[in-house]
Amino acid sequence: MNLLRKIYKARYGYFFLLPHFILFLIFFLIPVGSGVYLSLFDYNVFSKTFIGLENYKEIFNDWLFKKALVNTFIYTFGVVPLWLGKALLVTVLIYPFRKPIKTFFKTIFYLPHVTSSVIISLIWLWIFNPNFGLLNYFMKLMGLNPVIWLGNKLTAMPSLIAMQVIMGGGSTIVLLSAAMASIPEYYFEAAKIEGANSWKIFSKITVPLLKPTILYALVMGTIANFQTFSNIYVMTQGGPEFSTITVAYLVYTTAFRDYNLGLASAMSMVMFVILVGLGIVQFKWLGSNVQY
């Protein structure tokens, strides 16, 4: 009775919260909870039967899933360090310049970020085009042989990684710049007076003070790149010879092309567990000595 009265007295809290929370419950919390449940079923167009852990057994015996997992790791660990390194480098390099120059470069690096990944993928399909593409034109200018960038299983994955690194980083640069602007300038001044060189200042002052932001960018970047889908769907469909198939793409084809929803759910659960694991490792690795 007491609780009910409390709830009645606070009814406006619920009145404001519930419209969003009901949608959040139906379209977010329930799906999160039922992912595990679905992965225990043989769930297709015709039937839904409980099969326990069979789906997990099946995917771990499936060479294609393992291939997709390895590819996803290669892609993520190819993109994330280079992309974060680029973002850090640009942030540090634009820092001393006046505001208009900073804004100019931030704008340039941010532009690919408001352009959708489908559009970026279409552009790069055209750039990578073996016969008429811009990249092979540059190759010829330098006296090199044209390359079938996306049609060769050795170059397809590196091409996708390079594209992501070249186009990415905009929002991280903005984020890091904001964090760096909040570092008191006399930290850098003092270090300079003490005779510290640029690398010392970067590694001993800039990076440690930016750590929380770097950690945030690292975790979010890992999550985002681990789920890479649009570029695979538009550019390679996982080929050639499955050399660019990623878990997210395999989940998509398993669920919405083969309509094997239980198996696909098991795959996304494995992906989730790996991402949680990576997140914990990153927090452990960078999270110590972080001052908020």
Partner 1 sequence: MTKMNRAKLVKNTISLIILLVLGLMAFIPLYWMVVTALKPPTLVLKFPPEIFPKNPTLMNFRQLLQRPYVLRWTFNSAVVAGSVTAVRIILCAMAGYAIAKKRFPGARLFFWIYIASMMIPNQVTLIPLYIIVSNLRMINTYWGLILPSVAAPFGVFLMRQFMVTLPDEIIEAARIDGASEFQTFWKIIFPISKPAIAVLGIFTFVNEWNDFLWPLIVTNTTAMKTLQAGLVMIREEIPMEYALHMASATYAAIPMLIVFFAFQRYFLQGITVGAIK
Site for partner 1 in 251-290 (CB under 8 A): 251-252, 255-256, 261, 264-265, 268-269, 271-272, 275, 279
Q: Which is nearer to partner 1, 7 or 144 (CB)?
A: 7
Binding mask 200-239 for partner 1 (x = CB under 8 A): ----------------xx--xx-xx-xx-xx--xx-----
Indicate whether 12 belongs to the interface with partner 1 (CB under 8 A).
Answer: yes
User: Pick from 76, 41, 25: which is nearest to 255 by CA?
Assistant: 41
Q: Are 271 and 203 in contact (CB under 8 A)?
A: no
Q: What is the CA radius of gyration of the chain?
A: 24
Cα 45 from chain centre? 32
Size of the site for partner 1 (CB under 8 A): 100
Nearest residue (CB) to partner 1, 33 versus 208: 33
E strands present in the chain: 41-43, 48-50
Options 44, 54, 64, 113; binder of partner 1; rule CB under 8 A:
113
Site residues for partner 1, 131-190, by CB under 8 A, read 132, 134, 137, 164, 166-168, 170-172, 174-179
Whichever of 243 and 254 has its CB closer to partner 1, that residue is: 254
Q: How far is the CB of 68 from partner 1 (least distance, A)?
A: 13
| 128 vs 156, beta carbon nearer partner 1 | 128
CB 201 within 8 A of CB 187: no
Distances in Å between the Cα of 60 and the Cα atoms of 49, 69, 212, 266 are 20, 10, 36, 10
Query: Binders of partner 1 among 37-96, rule CB under 8 A?
Result: 38, 86, 89-90, 93-94, 96
Contact 42, 262 (CB under 8 A): yes
Chosen residue from 42, 112, 215, 239 binding partner 1 by CB under 8 A: 112
Question: Of the listed pieces 49-57, 103-111, 144-152, 153-161, which binds partner 1 according to CB under 8 A?
Answer: 103-111
Per DSSP, the residues of 14-36 read HHHHHHHHHHHIIIIIHHHHHHH
When the beta carbons of 104 and 285 are compared against partner 1, the nearer one is 104
Least Å distance between CB 127 and partner 1? 6
C-alpha to C-alpha distance for 154 and 161, rounded to whole angstroms: 12
* CA–CA gap between residue 121 and residue 229 (Å, rounded): 11
Residue from the set 129, 152, 155, 282 that interacts with partner 1 by CB under 8 A = 129
Of 86, 58, 63, 29, the C-alpha closest to 221 is: 86
